Chains A and B, each alone.
Chain A
Amino acid sequence: GNSVTQMEGPVTLSEEAFLTINCTYTATGYPSLFWYVQYPGEGLQLLLKATKADDKGSNKGFEATYRKETTSFHLEKGSVQVSDSAVYFCALSLNDYKLSFGAGTTVTVRA
Chain B
Amino acid sequence: GAGVSQSPSNKVTEKGKDVELRCDPISGHTALYWYRQSLGQGLEFLIYFQGNSAPDKSGLPSDRFSAERTGGSVSTLTIQRTQQEDSAVYLCASSPSSGQGNQPQHFGDGTRLSIL
Name A's B-contacting residues (CB within 8 A).
30-32, 34, 36, 42-46, 49, 51, 89, 93-104
Contact = CB atoms under 8 A, between A and B. Distances in A.
Interface of B: 31, 33, 35, 42-43, 45, 48, 56, 59, 91, 93, 95, 97-110
B42 A96 contact: no
A30 B101 CA distance: 9
11 contacts: A42-B109, A43-B107, A43-B110, A46-B105, A51-B102, A89-B43, A96-B98, A96-B103, A98-B33, A101-B43, A104-B43
Given A94-B101, A96-B31, A98-B59, A43 B95 contact: no
A28 to B, nearest CB: 13
Contacts of A102: 42
Nearest to B43: A101
A44 B108 CA distance: 8
B39 to A, nearest CB: 11
